[in-house]
Amino acid sequence: MHDDDVTNVERRLRAVLQPDDERVRRVIVGALSPDRRIHPLRPLGLLVACVVALLVIAQFWRASAPLPPALHISGTGSVLVVTSDDGKRWVVNVQRESTARGEYVIAFPR
Amino acid sequence: MSGPSNTDLPLLPQVLTGYIPSVDLDATVAALAPRLVAYATGRTGCLSTGQDIAQEALAALVLRWRRFGPPESPEAFVFAIARRRAGRAMKRRALLKPLDFILAARASDTGVESYEQRAELQLVIRTMNRLRRADREVLLLRAAGELSLDQIAIVTGSSAAAVKMRLHRARARLMELLEEAPHAR
């Protein structure tokens, strides 16, 4: 069989894929049209799709981000014990040099 | 004294060729359109996408032709563009697959006809998808695009020998697969 010959398989493929005349006519007219330009709604649609995609990604990212472990503060007097959910523990000895009220300790995991 | 011979002077300065509209442009577009639509439909499995790709490739040819004159091979020019755009369309479709239920609703609302609704096409495309990608490409360019082996080699950027080998393998494999298919004719 010569390679430039058209086989039955190709004939069948060609017959199946053959477009109708009206569609071909539309393609020709569209291609030869002198005022052919990008559809005005196309960039807008792309922009909307991008924004939606970004929102979805942000939502997934927020949902999958690990939460910081909760801290429990206990203790009496000037000694504070900060216990984390993952078992870590910090003991804070607050030296009261003044008698002013309203002093506090902020503990946060690194 | 002898004047310049005919061979010394170009018939038409190269710079002017782009400004002279060729009478063949319309005929070339008309001849390429059905082949391009068929090829792009085979690549994407969707008639409306195939139509868009064919139209864009032909519009690029028209633009090129009117500005700079005809390309060396209009067939290779448009099929190379259609091939790239079909590849992008397939990637886009894979990305949007999760939104298929919305797009399907839109398509049915606008009455867009899908080739996939036709059983014969569905069977052939499903079978074609079982071929190797490079083999499928060559077979489509040959069967739907009606390109010669040399033109396929230019479009795919491979050697004529490789094209010949892939075409031979694709034909044999597709025939085998179509015979295996339940409703093969």
DSSP-assigned letters across all residues of B93-123: HHHHGGGHHHHHHHHHHHT---GGGSHHHHH
Q: Does B37 contact A8 at a Cβ distance shorter than 8 Å?
A: no
List where CATH 1.10.10.10 sits in chain B: 118-185
| B7-57 per-position pLDDT tens digit | 444 444 455 554 555 558 889 999 999 999 999 988 888 888 899 999 999
Residues 6 or more apart whose Cβ sits within 8 Å of residue B47: A19, A23, B37, B41, B113, B114, B115
Nearest CB partner across the interface for B143, out of A13, A24, A32: A13
Nearest CA in chain A to B31: A28
Average per-residue pLDDT in chain B? 79
> Which residues of chain A fall short of a pLDDT of 70?
1-6, 34-41, 94-110
Q: Does B42 contact A17 at a Cβ distance shorter than 8 Å?
A: yes
CA torsion sign for B74, B80, B85, B90 is positive
Interchain CB contact of A5 with B (< 8 Å):
no
Best residue in A8, A9, A50, A56 for a mutation probing chain B (most B CBs within 10 Å): A9
Burial (CB count <10 Å: 0-12, 13-18, 19+), residue B70 = middle
pTM, full prediction: 0.61
At the top level of CATH, the class of B118-185 is mainly alpha
> Residue type at B40?
A
Q: What is the ipTM of this complex?
A: 0.71
Task: Report the pLDDT value the prediction gives residue A14, as an integer from 0 to 100.
Answer: 86
Nearest CB partner across the interface for B164, out of A3, A13, A28: A3
**Exposure pattern of B80-105 as b/e (b: 16+ CB <10 Å)?**
bbbbebbeebeeeeeeeeeeeeeeee
- Cα B163 from chain centroid (whole Å): 16
Calpha distance B33→B53 (Å, rounded) = 11
